[in-house]
Amino acid sequence: MGRGKYKDNPKYNVISLRVSDEEKSLLEEMTRQSSKSISRLMREAILFYSPTVYNVSPTEI
C-alpha cells in the first residue's frame, strides 16, 4: 500500500543533513503549506540551484 508510486522511479540514496531548530521549524511549516514532504522540497531545491545539469522541472520529480 502506497509503495506503487516508487516502483517507476526508485530512490535508493539517503543523505543526512543537520539543521538548527529554526531551520527544522521552517521546513515543517513549508511542508504544511505546500503538502509536500521534506524530501520532495529538498529535491526541488537541488533542481532549482542546478536546472541546467538535470534539465528537469520540479513537476517531474
Structural domain boundaries, residue 32: 19-60
Q: Is residue 6 part of a domain?
A: no
pLDDT value for 42: 92
Task: Tell me how far CA of residue 58 lies from CA of 15, 32, 35, 42, in angstroms.
Answer: 19, 18, 14, 11
Q: Is residue 8 part of a domain?
A: no
**H-only helix segments in the chain:** 4-7, 21-34, 38-49, 51-54
Q: Is residue 2 part of a domain?
A: no
Q: Is residue 40 part of a domain?
A: yes
pLDDT value for 1: 46
pLDDT value for 57: 62
Query: Total domain count for the chain?
Result: 1
Q: Is residue 29 part of a domain?
A: yes
What are 31's three cell numbers?
A: 511542508
pLDDT value for 28: 96
Of 34, 37, 32, the residue nearest 2 (C-alpha):
37
Per-position pLDDT tens, the chain of length 61 = 455 555 677 889 999 999 999 999 999 999 999 999 999 999 888 888 876 666 666 566 5
Q: Is residue 5 part of a domain?
A: no
Give me the sign of the Cα torsion angle 41, 43, 49, 51: negative
